[in-house]
Amino acid sequence: MMALVGIMGPSADGDASRSVVWACCAGLLLTAGVYHWVPATLLDRAGGFIGLAVVGVTVLCTLAVSAGGTSTRAQAFLVFVVLYAGFHLRTAGALLVTSQTVVAGGIMLFTSDAVESALTDFVFFGSMLGVTGVLLARSSNSHERLVGALKRQADVDALTGLVTRRVLDRALSSALARTGPQEGTALLLMDVDEFKSINDVHGHLAGDDALVHLSRIVKLQTRSSDAVVSRMGGDEVAVLLRSCSRETAVRRAEHLLDAVRGEPLVLPDGTLYGLSISVGVAHADTRTDDLRTLYAAADEALYAAKRGGRGRVEAAFA
């Protein structure tokens, strides 16, 4: 758009000369190159995106005032700034840039026109910019809320409130990468014994209650500072223990086993049901990025506990 204005040349007294327009084009190309090569996260932390809009409005206003007035072209470029802010900035930033654009438009109008004429144009032009900016900011805010809700759905299990396998995998990868010779990473994999019979005899709602009950107990018995509790799917719950020795991992698994035994599940009809779990423990004491091996070891230990009579802890070491 700027290049098109440079080719066409000034159309009114308030328009910048061709040389100024082409200089602005060169500046935009240079800025685009910088923004292309610099990481977006770094630009965001440095305020680069909102700064681009603020500088753009300032340059447009300065050029218009120095030329002794304004024109439809200059006002159109202010609209582009508002559109950029609405689509690319957070709500607060978009509203800030929109406010600056309205002020800049007022300065441009009152510099070139009589007060009465400028006031009429400013009310119309300022209202248009303000409404456009607010609508775009609201749309962007709704989009951010939707993305946040979708992310929470992907990260948190709706029934139990535990994190999902996706989150556990990230935490486990990070823990395994930091595992040193003096410590280790443990994975506890557990499920409810005779879970199918709970569903068949007492109904699927009772099965859901059993999962919520187990999740609550496990969360109460672990610390978020050194553990991540996740629902793997079905009736399986996993616990990642960071900086944990083999012996400590087995001891904490047995403690979870006793905690579940000591707190019966209240069924929908008010009766108490003694819940039982089997736990498989896997441990890695060296730095690795092989999640599959640790998961396989925990799964093997869990099935060993099942074969051994359920309601017990078995350990395997990856």
Neighbours of 234 (CB within 10 A): 11
Residue with the two structure tokens 């206003």: 61
User: Mind telling me the catalytic residues?
Assistant: 235
User: Rounded to whole angstroms, how far apart are CA atoms 136 and 129?
Assistant: 11
User: Rounded to whole angstroms, how far apart are CA atoms 149 and 168?
Assistant: 19
Give the burial string for 279-312 (b: 16+ CB within 10 Å, else e): bbbbbbbeeeeebeebbebbbbbbebbbeeeebb
CA separation, residue 36 to residues 32, 40, 56 (Å): 6, 8, 18
First to last CA, the chain: 61
User: Rounded to whole angstroms, how far apart are CA atoms 195 and 268?
Assistant: 16
φ/ψ region of 236 (left if φ > 0, alpha if ψ in -120 to 50, else beta) reads beta
